C-alpha cells in the first residue's frame, strides 16, 4: 500500500496536470496577475476534467488531499510567476451532495462534506498556533517546533526538558511559531432537515480561510463545504475515548432567506392557483392545521394568519413589521402546545423553543465568555435563528431576565441589539412569534383578566401581540361528548389538505404582497373608529391605540395572502373583525387600556367585587346592586349573567318580599 507521502505526490501531479489544462489554467493565471486574492477551486471543474482526481481529493482531504492541492498550486505558481500563496488562501467549492449534520460520523472523518444549517454562535477572530516553538521556563532553552493538530488544545513538549533534564513548564514563543488567523462558529441544522421529534444538532466549525473571516453572522442560513475532523473529548486534562467531530470550513455560501428565492415549478404554481378556487379552501386550511384538535377555531385561524403573515411596509423612514404575533394563555395541557407544534411544522423556517431557553442564548441572543477560550462569543436564540420564519415559544412567561429586555425590540423592530463589554451587535430577527403562556397559579382563573393571570409578564409586552386568546379547558358535558367523539374518529380523521402541499403553498404565498382595496381600507377604518368610540364612552378606558390598527391591517393582509389575493377586500376585513371581536370581548374583557398600561379596570373589577360580596352573604340581586354601588347597569348585568351562567352563584330561596335570594353553591 502506498504511503500518504506517495499518495500526496500522485495527487499533486494529477492536480498539476489539471492546472496546466485549459480547464484549470485560469486559477493560476488569475491569481498570479492579482485578479483574485484567493483560489477557490470548483471541484465540478476538476470532475469534468477527471472525476478520479476530484473524488480522491474529497475522500482524502485531511490526510493528504488539501496538502497535495497546496503543493500543486505552489508548484504551478513558482514555475510561472514566482508569486507565492498561503494555505489560508486556498479553498474548495462545488455542488457535491449534501450531508445531514446529525448523520456525520466516523465514516466521514477526513472527507470533504457539504452541509446546510443556521449559524447560531460566532466568536471573534483570533490567531491560532499551527506550529509552536516552546521555551523551558527553567533553563530558557527552546524546544523543537511542534505541529498543532488540535485547534483548541495546545500540544506541548514532554514535561521533562532535554537541556536541563528537569520537569518543567513550557511556554510558547509566538515570534518563533507559525500562527494563523482563525474564527470559530457553530452551525445548527435547520428543522427542515430533521425528524420532528429530534433536537437540531449544532456542530463546531473553525475556519482558517481569509475570505471566511468575519464572513458569517448569527442567524445566517448557510451551505458550507468542510473537512470533517475529530479530536479527543477532553474532560479536565484527561482525554477520553470519545471523539468530538468538528468541521474545518473551506467555503461558505449564504442562502437567501427571502421567499422569492424559493423556486416553484409551473405545475406547482398551477396546483396552488387551483387550490384557492375551492370556496372551502380557507376552512380546509384551518382544519389541516391540527386535524386531531377539536374546536379552538379562533386560535386555529389566528395561528394560520400568523404563519402566512403580511408584507413588511416601508413608510417614509420607518419600517412597519409585517409579521403577526399571537399569544395564547391558558391551562397547561390544553390545545396550546398542539397548535405551536402545528405552526412549526407548516412554516418555512419554523422553530420551536421553550421560554426559559435551552441554551445560553435564550430566546433572543447573548454575548458571553466561552469557558475554554475566555473569548466573547455571540449566541443566537430562536428569534434570530428563525429570522424569516415563525418562532413557536411555549411557556413564554418563563423567559430569562435578559430576554425581557431584548424581546420588545425583537418583536417590534425585528432586530436584536446587544451592547456589552465594548461590543455593539445587531442581529436580524424578522420572525413571527406564536407564543403560549401558563397562568402563574397553574390554572386559569376565569374571574381574573388575562393580564392578572400573568402578573409577572411585562405589561408592555402584551401590546406587541396582534391577538391574544385564552385557551381554557372548561368542564362542560356537551363539549366533552364532542371532544370524545372527535378523538374516536380522529383515527381516520385526516388533514383535508395534504400537509406537505400546504407547507409548500404557504412558502409560495409569501411572494404575494397584497394591498388593502379602497373598500377594505374604508371598512377597516370604520371598525377601528367604532371600537375606539366605544371605549371613549368610558373615561377610564380610552386608548385603543394605533398599534391595534396596525394589527388589524396586518391580519387583513395575511387573510388575503392566504388566498393568493393581491388585494384585501371587505371579506378579509369581515373575517378579521370577527377574530378581533373575540379578542376584545373575550380576552381583554372589553378593556384595551390594559394592553398599554397593565392596569385593570371596569368589568373585571365589578365581577370580582360581586363574587366577594357573595362570599360574605346570601342576598337578592337588588341588594347586591346596592351594596357594590354599581351605576353602570350594562356592566352589572353582564357580570351577573356570567356569575349565574357559570354556576358561580345559585338561587337559594325566596326572601319575604318575594325576591330570589342567591349565594355560593
Ligand atoms: Zn530546560
- d(C-alpha 413, C-alpha 366), whole Å: 18
Query: How close is the Cα of 177 to the center of ligand 1, in Å?
Result: 18
Query: How close is the Cα of 131 to the center of ligand 1, in Å?
Result: 20
**Same-fold call for 104-254 versus 603-663:** no
Q: Residue 90: pLDDT above 60? A: yes
User: Nearest to residue 446, comparing CAs of 421, 484, 475, 488?
Assistant: 475
- List Cβ neighbours of 645 (8 Å cut-off, separation of 6 or more): none
Q: Residue 574: pLDDT above 70? A: yes
The domain locations on the chain are 4-93, 104-254, 266-597, 603-663
Q: Which fold has domain 104-254?
A: OB fold (Dihydrolipoamide Acetyltransferase, E2P) (2.40.50)
Q: To which H or E segment does residue 617 belong?
A: none
Query: How close is the Cα of 174 to the center of ligand 1, in Å?
Result: 18
- Contact yes or no for 98/108 (Cβ under 8 A): no
Query: How close is the Cα of 148 to the center of ligand 1, in Å?
Result: 21
Q: Percent of the chain beyond pLDDT 70?
A: 89
Query: How close is the Cα of 158 to the center of ligand 1, in Å?
Result: 11
DSSP per residue, 10-79: HHHHHHHHHHHSTTTHHHHHHHHTTS-SSEEEEHHHHHHH-HHHHHHHHHTIIIIIHHHHHHHHHHHHHH
Cα 479 versus chain centre, distance: 35
- Contact yes or no for 338/293 (Cβ under 8 A): yes
Q: From residue 360, how far is each of 163, 377, 399 by CA, in Å?
A: 47, 11, 12
Query: How close is the Cα of 159 to the center of ligand 1, in Å?
Result: 10
Predicted confidence at residue 597, as pLDDT, reads 45
- Contact yes or no for 421/380 (Cβ under 8 A): no
Q: Return the CATH superfamily for domain 4-93.
A: mini-chromosome maintenance (MCM) complex, chain A, domain 1 (3.30.1640.10)
- List Cβ neighbours of 250 (8 Å cut-off, separation of 6 or more): 91, 92, 93, 112, 207, 209, 225, 226, 227
Q: What's the pLDDT tens digit per position in 170-188? A: 999 999 999 999 999 999 9
Predicted confidence at residue 538, as pLDDT, reads 41
- Between 108 and 376, the more confident residue is 108
Query: How close is the Cα of 160 to the center of ligand 1, in Å?
Result: 8
Query: How close is the Cα of 271 to the center of ligand 1, in Å?
Result: 77
- List Cβ neighbours of 306 (8 Å cut-off, separation of 6 or more): 323, 324, 325, 326, 343, 390, 432, 434, 466, 558
Q: Cell 488531499 belongs to which residue?
A: 65
- d(C-alpha 163, C-alpha 454), whole Å: 71
Query: How close is the Cα of 167 to the center of ligand 1, in Å?
Result: 8
468 DSSP 8-state letter: E
Query: How close is the Cα of 212 to the center of ligand 1, in Å?
Result: 40
Query: How close is the Cα of 143 to the center of ligand 1, in Å?
Result: 9
- Contact yes or no for 509/564 (Cβ under 8 A): yes
- d(C-alpha 141, C-alpha 134), whole Å: 8
Q: Which residues surround ligand 1, an ion (CB under 5 A)?
A: 136, 138-139, 161, 163-164
Q: What's the pLDDT tens digit per position in 120-176? A: 899 888 899 989 999 999 999 999 899 888 777 888 888 889 889 989 899 999 999
Query: How close is the Cα of 526 to the center of ligand 1, in Å?
Result: 87
- Between 623 and 47, the more confident residue is 47
457 DSSP 8-state letter: S
Strands annotated E in 439-585: 467-471, 515-516, 567-568
Query: How close is the Cα of 153 to the center of ligand 1, in Å?
Result: 22
Query: How close is the Cα of 176 to the center of ligand 1, in Å?
Result: 17
- d(C-alpha 212, C-alpha 206), whole Å: 10
Indicate if the alpha-carbon torsion angle 469, 475, 480, 482 is positive or negative: negative
Predicted confidence at residue 644, as pLDDT, reads 82
Query: How close is the Cα of 172 to the center of ligand 1, in Å?
Result: 13
Query: How close is the Cα of 150 to the center of ligand 1, in Å?
Result: 25
Query: How close is the Cα of 152 to the center of ligand 1, in Å?
Result: 25
Q: From residue 93, how far is each of 50, 56, 223, 442 by CA, in Å?
A: 16, 15, 10, 54
CATH number of 603-663: 1.10.10
Predicted confidence at residue 370, as pLDDT, reads 75
212: left (phi over 0), alpha (psi -120 to 50) or beta: alpha
Query: How close is the Cα of 155 to the center of ligand 1, in Å?
Result: 17
Query: How close is the Cα of 138 to the center of ligand 1, in Å?
Result: 5
- Please give the grid coordinates belonging to residue 9: 505526490
Query: How close is the Cα of 232 to the center of ligand 1, in Å?
Result: 29
- d(C-alpha 439, C-alpha 630), whole Å: 29
Query: How close is the Cα of 170 to the center of ligand 1, in Å?
Result: 9
Query: How close is the Cα of 236 to the center of ligand 1, in Å?
Result: 26
Query: How close is the Cα of 154 to the center of ligand 1, in Å?
Result: 19
Q: What's the pLDDT tens digit per position in 278-309? A: 999 999 999 999 888 888 899 999 999 999 99
- Contact yes or no for 387/430 (Cβ under 8 A): yes
- d(C-alpha 119, C-alpha 253), whole Å: 12
Query: How close is the Cα of 145 to the center of ligand 1, in Å?
Result: 15
Strands annotated E in 331-383: 350-354, 365-369, 376-380
User: Nearest to residue 602, comparing CAs of 554, 643, 649, 542?
Assistant: 542
Q: What's the pLDDT tens digit per position in 537-570? A: 343 333 467 888 999 999 999 999 999 999 999 9
Q: Cell 485531511 belongs to which residue?
A: 62
Query: How close is the Cα of 286 to the center of ligand 1, in Å?
Result: 76
pLDDT-wise least confident of 300-304, 369-373, 383-387: 369-373
- Please give the grid coordinates belonging to residue 478: 356537551
105 DSSP 8-state letter: -
Which pLDDT band, with edges at 50, 70 and 90, does 487 fall under?
low
What mean pLDDT comes out for the span 19-29?
93
- Contact yes or no for 50/18 (Cβ under 8 A): yes
Q: Which fold has domain 266-597?
A: Rossmann fold (3.40.50)
Query: How close is the Cα of 135 to the center of ligand 1, in Å?
Result: 8
What mean pLDDT comes out for the span 341-361?
85
Amino acid at each position: 500500500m502506498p504511503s500518504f507521502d506517495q499518495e500526496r505526490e500522485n495527487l499533486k501531479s494529477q492536480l498539476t496536470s489539471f492546472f496546466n489544462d485549459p480547464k484549470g489554467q485560469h486559477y493560476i493565471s488569475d491569481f498570479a496577475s492579482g485578479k483574485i486574492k484567493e483560489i477557490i477551486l470548483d471541484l465540478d471543474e476538476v470532475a469534468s476534467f477527471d472525476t478520479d482526481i476530484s473524488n480522491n481529493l474529497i475522500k482524502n482531504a485531511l490526510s493528504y488531499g488539501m496538502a497535495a492541492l497546496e503543493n500543486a498550486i505552489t508548484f504551478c505558481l513558482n514555475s510561472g510567476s514566482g508569486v507565492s500563496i498561503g494555505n489560508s488562501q486556498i479553498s474548495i467549492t462545488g455542488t457535491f451532495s449534501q450531508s445531514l449534520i446529525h448523520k456525520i460520523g466516523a465514516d466521514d472523518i477526513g472527507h470533504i462534506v457539504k452541509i446546510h444549517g443556521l449559524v447560531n454562535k460566532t466568536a471573534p477572530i483570533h490567531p491560532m498556533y499551527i506550529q509552536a516553538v516552546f521555551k523551558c521556563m527553567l533553563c530558557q532553552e527552546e524546544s523543537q517546533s511542534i505541529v498543532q493538530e488540535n485547534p483548541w488544545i495546545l500540544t506541548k513538549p514532554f514535561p521533562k526538558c532535554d537541556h536541563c533534564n528537569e520537569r518543567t513548564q513550557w511556554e510558547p514563543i509566538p515570534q518563533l511559531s507559525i500562527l494563523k488567523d482563525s474564527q470559530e462558529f457553530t452551525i445548527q441544522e435547520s428543522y427542515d432537515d430533521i425528524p420532528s421529534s429530534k433536537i437540531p444538532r449544532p456542530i463546531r466549525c473553525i475556519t482558517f480561510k481569509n475570505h471566511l473571516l468575519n464572513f458569517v453572522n448569527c442567524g445566517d442560513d448557510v451551505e458550507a463545504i468542510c473537512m470533517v475532523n475529530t479530536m479527543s473529548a477532553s474532560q479536565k486534562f484527561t482525554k477520553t475515548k470519545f471523539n468530538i467531530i468538528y468541521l474545518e470550513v473551506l467555503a461558505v455560501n449564504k442562502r437567501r432567506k427571502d421567499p422569492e428565492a424559493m423556486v416553484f415549478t409551473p405545475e406547482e404554481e398551477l396546483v396552488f392557483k387551483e387550490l384557492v378556487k375551492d370556496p372551502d379552501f380557507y376552512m380546509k386550511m384551518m382544519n389541516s392545521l391540527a386535524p386531531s384538535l377539536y374546536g379552538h377555531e379562533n386560535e386555529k385561524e389566528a395561528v394560520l394568519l400568523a404563519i402566512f403573515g403580511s408584507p413588511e411596509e416601508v413608510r417614509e423612514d420607518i419600517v412597519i413589521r409585517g409579521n403577526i404575533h399571537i399569544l395564547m394563555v391558558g391551562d397547561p395541557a390544553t390545545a396550546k402546545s398542539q397548535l405551536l407544534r402545528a405552526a412549526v411544522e407548516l412554516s418555512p423556517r419554523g422553530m420551536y423553543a421553550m421560554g426559559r431557553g435551552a441554551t445560553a442564548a435564550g430566546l433572543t441572543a447573548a454575548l458571553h465568555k466561552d469557558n475554554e477560550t475566555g473569548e466573547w462569543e455571540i449566541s443566537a436564540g430562536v428569534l434570530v435563528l428563525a429570522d424569516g420564519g415563525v418562532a413557536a415559544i411555549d411557556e413564554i412567561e418563563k423567559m430569562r431576565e435578559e430576554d425581557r429586555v431584548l424581546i420588545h425590540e425583537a418583536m417590534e423592530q425585528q432586530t436584536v441589539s446587544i451592547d456589552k463589554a465594548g461590543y455593539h451587535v445587531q442581529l436580524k430577527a424578522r420572525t413571527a412569534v406564536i407564543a403560549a403562556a401558563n397562568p402563574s397559579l397553574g390554572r386559569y382563573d376565569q374571574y381574573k383578566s388575562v393580564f392578572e393571570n400573568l402578573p409577572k409578564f411585562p405589561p408592555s409586552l402584551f401590546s406587541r401581540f396582534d391577538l391574544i386568546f385564552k385557551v381554557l379547558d372548561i368542564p362542560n358535558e356537551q363539549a366533552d361528548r364532542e371532544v370524545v367523539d372527535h378523538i374516536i374518529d380522529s383515527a381516520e380523521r385526516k388533514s383535508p389538505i395534504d400537509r406537505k402541499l400546504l407547507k409548500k403553498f404557504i412558502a409560495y404565498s409569501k411572494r404575494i404582497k397584497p394591498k388593502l382595496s379602497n373598500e377594505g381600507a374604508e371598512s377597516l377604518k370604520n371598525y377601528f373608529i367604532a371600537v375606539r368610540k366605544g371605549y371613549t364612552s368610558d373615561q377610564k378606558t380610552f386608548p385603543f391605540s394605533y398599534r391595534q390598527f396596525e394589527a388589524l391591517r396586518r391580519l387583513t393582509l395575511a387573510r388575503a395572502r392566504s388566498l393568493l389575493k393581491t388585494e384585501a377586500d371587505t371579506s378579509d376585513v369581515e373575517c378579521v373583525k370577527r377574530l378581533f371581536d373575540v379578542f376584545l370581548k373575550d380576552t381583554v374583557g372589553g378593556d384595551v387600556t390594559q394592553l398599554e398600561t397593565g392596569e385593570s379596570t371596569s368589568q373585571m373589577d365589578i365581577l370580582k367585587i360581586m363574587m366577594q360580596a357573595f362570599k360574605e352573604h346570601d342576598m337578592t340581586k337588588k341588594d347586591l346592586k346596592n351594596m357594590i354601588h354599581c351605576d353602570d347597569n350594562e356592566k352589572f348585568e353582564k357580570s351577573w349573567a356570567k356569575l349565574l351562567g357559570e354556576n358561580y352563584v345559585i338561587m337559594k330561596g325566596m326572601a319575604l318580599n318575594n325576591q330570589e335570594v342567591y349565594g355560593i353553591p
